[in-house]
Amino acid sequence: MRTVRLSFAGVFGLSAAVCLWFSALGFGSALRHELPLTLVFALGSAAVFATAAWQIATSGAFVRRWALAASVLLILLSLFAIAYLSPHDFVLPLWAAALLGYAGLALFGSRKSAAVSAAPKPVSEALPGDGTCAIASKLAALAAAAGAVEGTAHWSTWAAVHGLPLHDSPMIYIQYLAATLLVLFLHEGGHAVAGILMRMKVTAFIVGPFRWTLEDGRWLFEFRALDIVSFLGAAGVVPAEMTNFRRRKLVQVAAGPVASLLTGALAVFAILHAPGHAWAGGWRVLAYFATISLVVAFLNFIPFKLGSAYSDGAKLYQLRRDGLWADYHRLIAAIHATKVTELRPRDYDVATAERAAGTIARGADELNMHLCAYAHYLDCGQLSEARTALLKAESLCSRSSLEPADHWYSELVFAHAFLGRDSAAARRWWNRMLSRESLTRKPRTHVRLMSRAALLLSEGRVAEAAEMWKKADAWARRLPRAGASDAHRHSIQLLGNAVRERLSSTA
């Protein structure tokens, strides 16, 4: 595998050299009047390829991000060159380069670098009853790219016949990127608006590099430059209450591809009426938008799985079937809803969590099912059952390379220290949490106050535990009104009772 990865380092290094060569040529005499823009684009592409090659060769901390960015860029450059530069002598090499880009996505998209190996690994194969086909899932990305290339080529031919301007320049890349981001915005916006109309709450909105997330009652914005060519979007939508959840969720999921279909059809109408109108000069952007919208719409009505993510069509298939998959979607929605509604972990359908674990929930999802069962039993005050669920989660970790999500580390320290009175196990998880934070550079100082207090108590350092508990209690009281916050305050209350008992016994 190391040899394969180093081969991609060579591919990206060669791509960087080609970009530098093109920057020197200025993409030919036909484009020399836009040489500054050409140079910026070519040099920027060369920098991405060179950085990816260096990260792979040196096993850098961000190898996966740069390798994925370089793979996507290789695909885009190859397909654009085929569609617009008409390089008859280089068509086969360009198609080969595009296929290498897809191979890079498959390789680096499913395997974490050593620096981030602690993250949970998704299960990408088809699961029982999920409605997907392994072949369709593998061909989905290729079908989308082929549809986009064929669509844009068709519109170029149509524009030539109808006398529309055909001047090609490096601006087509910026236009394509802008059209893609707009398609993602409207697609995810369809999900979000439908969710609001279905009495749901939006907790996250992601369009390429732009990310808005709701954390502790506040909206946070983040710009991830490396995701600018990821062409991925998401809308986190959770139910405010669970009545008629399946029907409302079906509408919310279907709204995304329906929005893409409608906006794509409107763009087609605008293009067909462009000759002789004021927007004739912008036909190419409209063509990009129409093509991408229709490809996204039709592709999302097909059930397939890309990595660990399901298409809208797969989700619709699973929700329409009244069984474990529908119950599982309901459970996942309830879990996310605890952050912004009054739903608490004690409201989880723990029977579905236990049925799903190891069947339709595998890998990281199975681990999360055990941990959610732990949270349910802890919030219900069933401490013995909570400890049993915790042991199942740890057993799964010990049998595999799985690690919990970041926010669970602190809970595992607390569980071992408070429920199991196992200070050695709690200390091990504490050290693993600190190591994880050093890798991700995301310290969770306030979140770990409770686990720190429990750890100190399990080690017999009662006075220190009492001081740390006071800080944890003060922090928890400031948390926004939500089910997850109430459950956190409940756990702190249980810990406080134990601290006071130890203090009175030692007085």
371-384 tens-digit pLDDT: 999 999 999 999 99
Question: Is 473:454 a contact under the CB 8 Å cutoff?
Answer: no
Question: Percentage helix, strand, coil, to 5, in the chain?
Answer: 70, 5, 20
Show me where the domains of the chain are located: 2-117, 138-318
**H or E, element range at 306:** strand 305-306
The reported pLDDT for the residue numbered 196 is 95
pLDDT exceeds cutoff 60 at 447: yes
Say how far apart CA 191 and CA 31 lie, in whole Å. 41
The pairing of beta strand 305-306 with beta strand 233-239: unpaired
The reported pLDDT for the residue numbered 25 is 61
Q: Which residue has the tokens 């697609």?
A: 187
**H or E, element range at 234:** strand 233-239
Say what angle helices 364-379 and 406-414 make with each other, to 10 degrees.
40
Question: Is 476:451 a contact under the CB 8 Å cutoff?
Answer: no
The reported pLDDT for the residue numbered 119 is 42
Question: Is 260:182 a contact under the CB 8 Å cutoff?
Answer: no
Say how far apart CA 122 and CA 308 lie, in whole Å. 5
Structure tokens at 242: 């669970």
Give the other-Cβ count within 10 Å of 378's Cβ.
26
| Among 410, 409, 406, 489, residue whose Cα is nearest residue 452 | 410
Question: pLDDT tens for residues 99-148?
Answer: 888 788 778 865 443 333 334 445 556 678 888 887 877 788 778 877 88
Say how far apart CA 245 and CA 258 lie, in whole Å. 20
Confidence bin at 308 (pLDDT 50/70/90) = confident
The reported pLDDT for the residue numbered 29 is 44
Q: Which residues pair with 221 in a beta bridge?
A: 212
Say how far apart CA 403 and CA 409 lie, in whole Å. 9
Instruction: Encode burial over 333-363: b for 16+ CB neighbours within 10 A, e otherwise.
Output: bbbbbbbbbebbbbbbbbebbbbbbeebbbb
